[in-house]
Amino acid sequence: MSGKRPTLADVASRAGTSTAVVSYVLNNGPRPVSESLRAKVVDAIDALGYRPDLRARALRRPRRWRQIGLLVPDLGLPLFGEFVGRIEVEARARDHLTMIGNTGYDPERELEFATAFAEVGIDGLVVIGAANASETAELCRRERIPVVWLHNIRGDVAADIVGVDHAHAGALAARHLLDEHACRDTVFVGGFTESDVRHGDRETVEQRYRGVASVVGAKLRHIRTDLTPAGAYAEVSAFLRSERPPRAIVVGTYGQSAATIRAITDAGLPIPDRVRVVGFDGGTDDYGQPRLTAVQQPVAALACRALGQLLGESGVDEEITTSLRIGDTCGCSVR
């Protein structure tokens, strides 16, 4: 076969029947088809690698609602939950329903969800924190499905990512600690190698680490962990038992911030008097104690940008940047 996508007519020709019969087989009706003829049609579909263009079919079908797919790595994490909620609201306002797949940063599961979404005829796909970007991009190209990448990706794609500069975010955290609190002894918490983290947002953590290192320099100490709260608590506790306590700690993920704070306080080190802490994200956490000082992403702006790109809306592509939200853990509120 050439690179041309097989058509319904190609299947009918190979099976020696009409396109109407092929349609009856694909739709299981409305007219009956004999078992022998059905078998010929199925064999022709398999031989040609035919896939119904469900997206085109959906576009021809009169309806108000269209559908987009949304792949998210972990619905249990507040940042991704915020993204999902905002995208769903914005999509519904544009007459699009949202189908959600929770990938768990598993490359195979990501591709399975993308394939399933393609088969039901989505009009576009948003992928948050892609773990299998190259193969998912190829699937979308083959199925002619628009795709937008949000937050970060693992793999290479020929498209821009809708997201903030995570290295700049790391530098912002470290610069605040250095300029405002004279913290020259800083530790970074978080792993980003494959041996540290199998399923997790290690790309973002590495970029944040590079940003912190660009400010702190060679003196930066590093506590390697997986990206679980339990991993952070264990490794930070062990570090504080064996090493000189730092003046400041930057925590690479929001999910590990509370565990890091608990490890510091369990070691008898008051926050922020003895150790200052800055983290990332956690925009809805206004009632924790102590309140985390964090570099935050503008979730609403990022979600709107991603959805606008997916649906072909025109707009001004201004840079979307992070900002520092002052809490209790850096020391600003007690000066």
Q: Same domain for 21 and 112? A: no
Residues 6+ apart with CB under 8 A from 272: 290, 328, 329, 330, 331, 334
Q: Does the pLDDT at position 62 exceed 60?
A: no
Which pLDDT value is given to residue 286?
66
Q: Same domain for 126 and 26? A: no
Q: Same domain for 136 and 226? A: no
Q: What are the pLDDT digits (tens) for 79-98?
A: 999 999 999 999 998 889 99
Q: Same domain for 18 and 73? A: no
Q: Rounded CA gap, 207 and 298, in Å?
A: 18
Which pLDDT value is given to residue 196?
79
Q: Same domain for 35 and 116? A: no
Residue 3's CB: how many other CB atoms inside 10 A? 4
Predicted confidence band of residue 284 (pLDDT cuts 50, 70, 90): low
Residues 6+ apart with CB under 8 A from 271: 261, 264, 265, 277, 290, 328, 329
For residue 55, the domain's CATH number is 1.10.260.40
Give the total number of structural domains in the chain. Answer: 3
Q: Same domain for 181 and 276? A: yes
Q: What are the pLDDT digits (tens) for 154-164?
A: 888 878 899 99
Of the candidate ranges 155-164, 195-204, 214-223, 319-328, the one whose mean pLDDT is the lowest: 195-204
CA-based nearest residue to 94, from 124, 72, 71: 124
Contact 73, 80 (CB under 8 A): yes
Assess if residue 310 is contained within a domain. no
CA-based nearest residue to 15, from 36, 34, 41: 41
Judged by phi (left if over 0) then psi (alpha if -120 to 50, else beta), residue 82 lies in alpha
Q: How is residue 283 written in tokens?
A: 């925009």
Assess if residue 305 is contained within a domain. no
Which pLDDT value is given to residue 1?
45
Assess if residue 181 is contained within a domain. yes
Q: Does the pLDDT at position 60 exceed 80?
A: no
Q: Same domain for 154 and 47? A: no
Which pLDDT value is given to residue 218?
94
CA-based nearest residue to 275, from 214, 196, 331, 223: 331
Q: Does the pLDDT at position 246 exceed 90?
A: yes
Q: Same domain for 70 and 52? A: no
Q: Does the pLDDT at position 334 exceed 70?
A: no
Q: Mean pLDDT for the chain?
A: 89
Assess if residue 331 is contained within a domain. no
Complete edge-to-edge strand list for the sheet that includes strand 293-296? 221-223, 186-189, 248-251, 276-280, 293-296, 323-325
Judged by phi (left if over 0) then psi (alpha if -120 to 50, else beta), residue 281 lies in left
Which pLDDT value is given to residue 55?
53
The beta-carbon contacts of 156-159 under 8 Å, at least 24 apart in sequence, are: 157/133
Contact 208, 165 (CB under 8 A): no
pTM: 0.79
Assess if residue 306 is contained within a domain. no
Q: Rounded CA gap, 289 and 312, in Å?
A: 43
Assess if residue 309 is contained within a domain. no
Q: Same domain for 173 and 281? A: yes
Q: In terms of residue numbers, what domain contains 152?
A: 66-162
CA-based nearest residue to 154, from 223, 73, 250: 73
Instruction: Mark which of 115, 135, 162 sits at the end of a domain.
Output: 162
The rounded percent of the chain whose pLDDT value lies above 90 is 63
Q: Rounded CA gap, 65 and 86, in Å?
A: 18
Q: Same domain for 219 and 275? A: yes
Instruction: Decide: helix, strand or coil at residue 52.
Output: coil
Q: How is residue 141 written in tokens?
A: 């190209």
Q: Same domain for 261 and 180? A: yes
Assess if residue 288 is contained within a domain. yes
